[in-house]
Amino acid sequence: MQNMPGMQHAPEHPMAMMSGTHLEPASTPAPMWMTQVGQWTLMAHGNLFLAGNFQGGSRGLHRFESINWLMFMEQRKLGAGTLELRQMLSAEPGTLPAGGSPQLFQTGETDKGLPLVDKQHPHDLFGELAAQYSFPLSEHVTWSIYGGPAGEPALGPVAFMHRASASENPTAPLGHHLQDSTHISYGVVTTGVKAGKVKIEASAFNGREPDEDRLTFDFAPLDSWAARISVAPGRNWAAQYSFGRLIHPEQLELGNINRQTASITYNHPFAKGNWASTLVWGQNDKRAEKTMQESFLAESVVNFLERNYAYTRFELVDKDELQGALIPPGRNYKIGAYTLGGVRDLIHNEKLNLGLGADVTFYSKPGALDAAYGDNPVSAKVFLRIRPGIMKH
């Protein structure tokens, strides 16, 4: 790895700039700033999108907005193990429109006591304040413990904002609340063992969704739990299956949810570029309502000739929270969203990547939704993307 000025040695896990304790392909690019201060290795990673958001159809809205997050990690040797401190922040409470970013068919969380429909909620100011300690038990076995007042349990794939396969896309997946919405949990403890290419973990956490005040910590008992098994069979592959029992996650629904997720990630570096792809399946089993929702996602980013990016995201998601569109409650509708986009870096070096991008999203839906959304709504975004440069290997 090519070091930044003042850097004395690379960290033990240079690809770990993500929330939680996920396994990710070792070949994944590392967009970060990094330096050395005494025994501490300091890292920073983030993404800032300045976007014009144009949602189509009769329920569409047009807004200027900023989707953003910034993550810090401090790492050092401590005894025979390694200590990591992590902080993740977002300015979205002040940079997204009131109620959230317009997004057709998106659901999850609330605004003014009502369900959010056709909007993606802002992420909280504090997304992660956590620590992890990893201790080698033998040459090929490592035990770790992770936790803090804000963090991510061992449930789901790498959260969408940290996936290389979603790095150019400013929009949250429609299946976010069936896959990786627990990436902000106010209270979590996780322990696990990594043996060779396999990692097994278990978490106790607060499974309730954050409330509408995005600037505070929403503590509650750690009465939800999750378990995950992950495998990284080679430098370019990682996969996981996880199961979680979420106690009263929804503010407006009293029931519990059993969530299952599975994902496969492939990353392939090549001369002057990289190809990252992810497949995700997520399922919510709502015990009180006796309903089940499933989601399927396939997304990919190809970086070619250094400065150019092409990306896709295809989704099929069951939605049962479209009451705002005058849909009978308790019924699932299969929604498809198909996004094609591209970015061109105007500035591209190891310190900064500044890109100009755009995408378009088409949808499929049952005919029963035509009256609410129109026959063939189409949405688009135009944006500037700013982030640290990719560290070279």
Confidence (pLDDT) at 7: 34
Phi-psi bin for 369: left (phi > 0), alpha (psi -120 to 50), beta?
Answer: alpha
DSSP sequence for 56-67: -STT--EEEEEE
Q: What is the pLDDT of residues 35-86, one digit of tens each?
A: 999 999 999 999 999 999 999 998 989 999 999 999 999 999 999 999 999 9
Classify the C-alpha dihedral 83-26-183-143 as positive or negative. Answer: negative
Q: Tell me whether strands 30-31 and 390-391 are parallel, antiparallel or unpaired.
A: antiparallel
In the predicted model, is pLDDT for residue 14 greater than 70?
Answer: no
On whether the CB atoms of residues 185 and 223 are closer than 8 A, the answer is no
Q: 16 is written with which tokens? A: 């770990």
> Cα(390)–Cα(276) distance, rounded to whole angstroms?
14
What value does the mean pLDDT take over residues 227-238?
97
Residue 125: both structure tokens together:
């100011």
For residues 163-186, give the mean pLDDT. Answer: 96
Residue written as token pair 């449930």 = 155
Q: Please, are residues 157 and 180 in contact by the beta-carbon 8 Å criterion?
A: yes
Residues 6+ apart with CB under 8 A from 227: 154, 200, 201, 202, 203, 242, 243, 244
Residue 4 is predicted with a pLDDT of 37
Strand partners, 242: 228, 261
The Cα–Cα gap between 138 and 13 comes to 17
Handedness of CA 202, 206, 211, 213 (dihedral sign): negative
How are the residues of the chain apportioned to helix, strand and coil, as percentages rounded to the nearest 5? 5, 55, 35
Contact 49, 92 (CB under 8 A): no
| Residue in the structure block whose two tokens are 């896959």 | 179
Token digits of residue 142:
């490592």
**Six token digits for residue 337:** 């969203």
Task: Print burial letters for 289-300: b (CB count within 10 Å at least 16), e (below 16).
Answer: eeeebbbbbebb
Burial of 171 (C-beta count, 10 Å sphere; 0-12/13-18/19+): buried
Q: Structural domain boundaries of the chain?
A: 30-391
Inform me whether the pLDDT recorded for 16 exceeds 70. no
Whether residue 6 is predicted with pLDDT greater than 90 in this model: the reply is: no
Domain 30-391 in CATH 3.40.1190.20: no
Share of the chain above pLDDT 90, in %: 83
Query: Residue 299's beta-bridge partner residues?
Result: 278, 313
Report the pLDDT value the prediction gives residue 253, as an integer from 0 to 100: 80
Mean pLDDT in residue range 204-223:
94
Contact residues for 327 (Cβ-Cβ < 8 A; gap 6+): 333, 368, 369, 372
Mean pLDDT in the chain? 92
DSSP class of 385 = E
- Which helix (H) or strand (E) covers residue 93, if one does? helix 92-95
